[in-house]
Structure 1
Amino acid sequence: MKFQPLFLTLALGAFAATQGHVLAQQAATLTLKHDEGTATVKKNPQRVVAMDEEALGWLAALGVQSRVVGIGSTYFEPQDVQGGKIKANVLKEGFYGRVGLNSPAYIGSWTAPNLEVLTALRPDLIVRLTWDGNQNYDKLSRVAPTVGYKEGGAGFWQKGLRDLAKVFGKQVEAEKVIQQVADVNRANARKLLAAGVFKKYDKVVVVAPFAGGNNWVYSNVRLIPDLRALGFKDGLNTKATTLNVGAQISDEALLGLDRKTLVVLFPPGGKYDGADAFLKTPVGQKLRAQSVVYRPEAFAPYSGPLVSIRNSNEVTRLLLDKVK
């Protein structure tokens, strides 16, 4: 019996040490509930993979783009990559040039990432845009904690930004960025109102003309939220959408738009851009007087805080020029 106090002391010490280790681990991690599940993420990660430009935009808005060691994208051609890395001259173009990166590896496309390359990067966080039916989440999660946010969800980029801000301890910065977007939209809305833009165009439609002749309208994301924030009403209601993003539109529907509906041609980037070809069609010719062409930056994401600010400023500039 005389040994029991010593045994109890040792047992309690071991328990306390174990509990301390568990608490320390918990303090160093954060559990996020995102659109693809739940992930336990190490706080303040140093090696991050952005599976797409949207994710890169959130990370850049928080000022942690230097930690991005790998990028997934569908923009790159074979000549843009050398030795598994994106060429330095490419990283100086468009959105990439505005963000600034430290020679990240190219891990393939959003839908078909190179898991061998990804694993070799030893990331401690993977971030991606996602949608219904998107694959590889389980495979990515086996490499590193992975978080995904659905593009068609309400306020999706704000949620992604705020979640990542918790991970990096950048909550104040995230709120400042979100507020900056709102402030820019308010300032530009006043300019448009003063110039009489809304008297001429009170509604708007965002048309994505693809090379080859297919035209889509964006109904929930991809520029349309920024135009709504500027004060425009929807010029067309699309009942059925794909992935809650938009829908293919017929020539007949476009010809039915009234003259007070502004048509913003927002083509996809690079070889998919069909804006010039659209304007040469009979429909494009009829709508030309009420249309503006707004091209995104090279390698730009479709949405996010950095893109929203550019959208607001550049579309405002185009419209002020149009109504002079």
Structure 2
Amino acid sequence: MKTTTCASAFGIMLLLAGTAWADRIIAHAMGETKVPDAPEQIVTLTNETTETALAIGIVPVGATSSWYGDPWYPHLGDRMSSVAEVGTELAVNLEAVAVLESDLIIGSRKRDEEIYDQLSAIAPTVLIDGIGDWEDNFSFVAGALGKAEEGAEALATYTDRVAALRESLGPRKSESLSVVRFVPGQIYLYQAGSFLGHVLADVGFTRPSPQDEDGLAIAVGTESIPDMDGDKLIWLTYDTGDGKGHDLADTVLADPLWAQLDVVQSGNAYHVDDGVWATAGGYFAAHAMLDDLARIYNVDLPPAE
């Protein structure tokens, strides 16, 4: 678990003009970009960067929709009620972005590398590298938005809640947690390098092999059900709206191998929200994960501020 705010993964360089700060040059995943010192009209192109902006008090004028919801994740409440939808993470609507006349666009090289030049023609654009340590990404985006101090305060709130959860859990914080995700046509075992893996590591949980590797996830079949055992088993389902993700989950949960898992027989398998644990990957999702863990372990946890 981090005890201090992470330095930016790419760094932020400030240029002086006389005795006052000029527009800043941000070094990011695609190079360097000159951005306003205090951007006001922000467009965010990933759910993770959207959550960062909200956490430091900036409501984007536009954002890509959540992977499910109408169009935003339920765990965001009404924070996005005034935000214009600009497509999805996989299909950004460039015309919708342009109409908003933003002064800064924030996205991800993993999602937006191919449209980076088009985005940059609309407004200054900076990109995080992609999936990684969400706290590093959070600090970078907060700095790019000119809110590094607010970002540090928000991460301190998260760190304090992690510490409170660790204390409440006692020795149980080192239990082995297995995480299984069902998407249409595929089963995944989630690993330590994923968003959820970072949060679980912050709390102190261990992961069963082969989930204790640095990757994002590994695709498996039903023959790997015995590898899903642990002190606790967390399972989640991503569905595109056609029910196929849930169909796969139902098939696996009805498999005799699943029923034979010690963790299932002891009643320690739990279903959680896919947006919170996998697809959002941001600040509010991390807090919601801590809430889920407190519920699963039946311990008290102070609410997030």
Q: TM-score band, normalised by the shorter chain?
A: 0.7 to 0.9
What is the distance in 1 between the residues matched to 2:167 and 2:245? 31
1:316 Cα deviation after fit? 2.2
Instruction: Give the C-alpha shift of residue 133 in structure 1.
Output: 8.4
* Maintained 8 Å contact 1:240/1:247: no
Distance 1:270 1:182, change over 3 A: farther
CA distance in 1, matches of 2:112, 2:94: 19
Whether 1:305 aligns to 2:276 is no
Q: 1:11 corresponds to which residue?
A: none
- Between the two proteins, the alignment pairs up a number of residues equal to 275
Aligned residues of 2:189 and 2:217 also touching (Cα < 8 A) = yes
Aligned to 1:145: 124
**For 1:52, which of 28, 46, 53 is the aligned residue?**
46
* Paired residue type of 1:210: V
Structure-1 residue corresponding to 2:21 = 27
Select between 282-291 and 182-191 the one with higher mean Cα deviation. 282-291
Secondary structure class of the residue paired with 2:87:
coil
Change (3 A) 1:147 1:295: same
Q: Aligned-pair distance for 1:252?
A: 2.6
Q: Distance in 2 between matches of 1:299 and 1:143?
A: 33
1:117 aligns with 2:96: yes
Aligned to 2:189, the other structure's residue is in SS state strand
- Please give the alpha-carbon distance, in whole angstroms, between the structure 2 residues aligned to 1:142 and 1:312: 40
- Structure with more of its chain in helix, by fraction: 1
Among 181, 201, 207, the residue aligned to 1:208: 181
Give the AA of the match of 1:162.
Answer: S
Q: Secondary structure of 1:223's match? A: helix
Among candidates 236, 239, 247, match of residue 218 of structure 2: 247
Aligned to 2:106: 127
Which residue matches 1:99?
A: 79
Equivalent residue number for residue 7 of structure 2: none
In structure 2, relative to structure 1, the CA distance for the partners of 1:231 and 1:159 (3 Å cut) is: closer
SS at match of 1:166: helix
Find 2:148's aligned residue among 162, 171, 192.
Answer: 171
Residue among 276, 279, 283 paired with 2:253: 279
Shift of 1:60: 0.5
Q: By how many angstroms is 1:297 displaced?
A: 5.4
- 1:217 alignment counterpart: 189
Q: Equivalents in 2 of 1:206, 1:151: separation in Å?
A: 21
Which residue number in structure 2 is paired with residue 190 of structure 1? 167
**How far apart are the structure 1 equivalents of 2:212 and 2:289?**
25
Counterpart-to-counterpart distance in 2, 1:300 and 1:63: 24
Partners of 1:48 and 1:70 lie apart in 2 by 7
CA contact (8 A) 1:218 1:245 kept: yes
Alignment check: 8 A CA contact 1:95 1:300 kept: no
Once the two structures are superposed, what CA deviation does each residue of 1:245-279 show, in whole Å capped at 9, x if it has no partner? 22212323331355x44221133366375345532
Whether contact under 8 Å (1:209, 1:278) holds in the other structure is no
CA contact 1:269–1:298 (8 Å) conserved in 2: no
TM-score by length of 1: 0.73
AA at the equivalent of 2:202: A
Is the CA contact (8 Å cut-off) linking 1:52 and 1:110 kept in structure 2? yes
Which of 108, 118, 137 aligns to 2:87? It is: 108
What is the root-mean-square deviation of aligned Cα atoms in Å? 3.2
Residue aligning to 2:236: 266
Contact 2:189 2:220 in 1 (8 A): yes
1:10 aligned partner:
none
State the SS of the aligned residue for 2:53: helix
Q: Using the alignment, how far apart are the partners of 2:57 and 2:136 within structure 1?
A: 17
Identity of aligned residues (%): 22
Q: Deviations over 1:206-260 (max 9, x none)?
A: 2111244x1112221231211122221121235998xx422212323331355x4
Q: Which residue of 2 aligns with 1:8?
A: none
CA separation of 1:239 and 1:36: change in aligned 2, threshold 3 A: farther
Task: Determine the C-alpha separation between the residues in 1 that align with 2:260 and 2:112.
Answer: 38
Q: Deviations over 1:3-26 (max 9, x none)?
A: xxxxxxxxxxxxxxxxxxx937x8
Within 1, Cα distance between the matches of 2:201 and 2:277?
A: 24
Gaps of 5+ in 1: 1-21, 81-89
> Which residue in the other structure is 1:73 paired with?
65
| CA deviation profile, 1:63-102 (whole Å, cap 9, x unmatched) | 111xx1212136368xx5xxxxxxxxx56x6134253441
Partners of 1:43 and 1:149 lie apart in 2 by 19
